[in-house]
Amino acid sequence: MTVGMKASQVAHAIPSDVVDRVTLVLPWPPSVNHYWMSRVGGPRNKPIVMRYIGPKGTEFRERSAAAIIAQGSPRIEGRLAVMIAVHAPTLAKRDLDNLGKAALDALTACGVIEDDSYIDLLRFRRRAVRPGGELVVRIRRIDPQGEMF
């Protein structure tokens, strides 16, 4: 990936064909508390809380973009089923559902999926520990009536 390339630029970096299914390996995401940041702005009598992706979230998106480019920058469209195999870096106790948002946002920003609102089925599965941690994301296009393609 070109230095300074944003995740949103990946969708245009390498043209790719639309596929019916894809498996991608993504880096370990930061916790939700480190992915999102907030600050208070506005006038004193009417403060506004602003939420934004923090430095660790931005770094995760950039590492995800590099991984997606290395794996061919696939695209998948339509209604989707997503299975995320979670290979944590340690045996520490963690909530699997807190890992999904960063990964799905990265897939959207990189153009792999149109939007995470197209996901009709989402599953997480805890797998073996791997040094550094990683997420193995399997995505399949599904029929809106429930039949798999």
- pLDDT of res. 61: 94
Sequence-distant (≥ 6) Cβ neighbours of residue 56 within 8 angstroms: 30, 34, 35
**pLDDT tens by residue, 81-134:** 999 999 999 999 988 888 889 999 999 999 999 999 999 999 999 999 999 999
pLDDT of residue 124: 96
pLDDT tier at 3, thresholds 50, 70, 90? very low
Which CATH architecture fits 7-141? 2-Layer Sandwich (3.30)
Q: Which residue has the higher pLDDT, 57 or 38?
A: 57
* Three-class SS of 88-142: CCCCCCCCHHHCHHHHHHHHHHCCCECCHHHEEEEEEEECCCCCCCEEEEEEEEE
What per-residue confidence (pLDDT) applies to 119? 95
Please say if the pLDDT value at position 35 is more than 90: no
Joined tokens for residue 41:
């702005």
Rounded to 5 degrees, φ, ψ at 28 are: -70, 125
Domain ranges of the chain: 7-141
